[in-house]
Amino acid sequence: MEPGQWSSEQSDALCEYFFKGMSYAEIGREINARFGTAYTRNAVVGRAKRIGLAISGRVASPSIVPSLPGEPCLLVKPRVAVPGLNLPPPSALKPVRSVKLRCVGVQPRLLTLLELEHCDCRYPYGGDREGEEIAFCGHPRQPGSSYCCPHTHLTTGPGAAGGRTAGAVVLRLVSTA
């Protein structure tokens, strides 16, 4: 028999084990032991999909698989969920202090909004405290970016190649009531 070709006995065993509520990995181990095959878990998943045991890529639970008229409904006891399995670790629930981004090696020109030219970097400085004025870097900006090279790397994060490329943004003025 060619690898990847399921016999009818193997398919019947897959159905039998599936309706017993076994996982695909367990089914694969049982079929391999019983028939002397070497099917992987993924091979079992694929075969189950082809014979209709899985719905749209998601495994159908044996308790909701429809039974044919005249056949007894097979109800399988649902598996017990392990408490706390999907909870993040306690360290992830602790509040973190905010990090102030800064760019080492760039001495900003600290231009006001009115002093900025079309080709100047628009990375903001200040404005963190109430009433504090905002100034901008003012160094020559990268093509396709609003920032100079160091600020482009700072704002796009590690691993980003060449910065972000985004379309034009249309701003709309809205009056406040």
Q: Over the stretch 42-54, which tens digit does the pLDDT of each residue have?
A: 999 889 988 888 6
**Is residue 142's pLDDT more than 60?**
yes
Amino acid identity, position 113: L
Is the pLDDT at 163 greater than 50? The verdict is: no
**Cα distance from N-terminal residue to C-terminal residue, the chain:** 78
Query: What is the C-alpha to C-alpha distance for residues 86 and 14, in angstroms, rounded to an integer?
Result: 29
Q: What is the pTM of this model?
A: 0.35
Tokens of 95: 């509040």
Q: How far is CA 83 from the centre of its chain?
A: 23
Which has more confidence, 131 or 177? Answer: 131
